Amino acid sequence: MSANSRLTIASHALAWIGLYQRQGHEVATSEQIASSANTNPVVIRRLLGDLRRAGLVESRRGVGAGWSLARELGSMTLLDVYEAVEPGPLFAMHRTTPDQECVVGHGIQPAMQRVYDGVEQTLRKELARVTLEDVLQDVLATPR
């Protein structure tokens, strides 16, 4: 499918910030999170920027700068994260319009669109059932 890792990395960042704050720290830096996720700080800043626009995190600038949660992890679901960082739909239509003179070419897009809409709805419901608190608890419960 050529899947991307944005939902994974964004969830990683949120869990990391949440845990870090529980350990008494005010803000987390993109550099710290990038080190945990083994990627570049700019990648983290890009994703956290999306999450900030969605109201899930806040950023502070200046010297004591960094990121903090805007809400409790228990009130954020993976659907919130998904909608914040995933732009497009799951399945694509034809890249060029099919032959409208052909019965199939004419009716296939509405037909498939109905199916895809239903599938996306179901996927959203599934993602909405998992909070970031659930994820963090699951992370902490992983044996080492």
Among 11, 30, 77, 131, binds DNA (CB under 7 A): 30
Based on the shown chain and the rule CB under 7 A, indicate whether residue 40 belongs to the binding site for DNA: yes
48 Cβ neighbours under 8 A, 6+ residues apart: 10, 13, 30, 33, 57, 59, 67
| Site stretch for DNA (CB under 7 A), options 16-24, 34-42, 111-119, 123-131 | 34-42
- Residue 61, contacted partner among DNA, a copy of itself, none, CB below 5-8 A by kind: DNA
- Pair 76, 56: CB distance under 8 Å: yes
122, 98, 123: which is closest to 109 by C-alpha?
98
How far apart are CB 10 and a copy of itself at their closest, in Å? Answer: 11
End-to-end CA distance of the chain: 31
Alpha-carbon span 32 to 68, nearest angstrom: 13
- Residue 46, contacted partner among a copy of itself, DNA, none, CB below 5-8 A by kind: DNA
- Residue 103, contacted partner among a copy of itself, DNA, none, CB below 5-8 A by kind: a copy of itself
Among 55, 65, 75, 99, binds DNA (CB under 7 A): 65
Distances (CA, A) of 132 to 34, 90, 97: 19, 22, 40
Which lies closer to a copy of itself via its Cβ, residue 2 or residue 61?
A: 2
Q: Please give the DSSP secondary-structure letter assigned to residue 102.
A: S
Among 88, 101, 103, 141, binds DNA (CB under 7 A): 88
Alpha-carbon span 133 to 141, nearest angstrom: 12
| Site stretch for a copy of itself (CB under 8 A), options 52-60, 61-69, 121-129 | 121-129
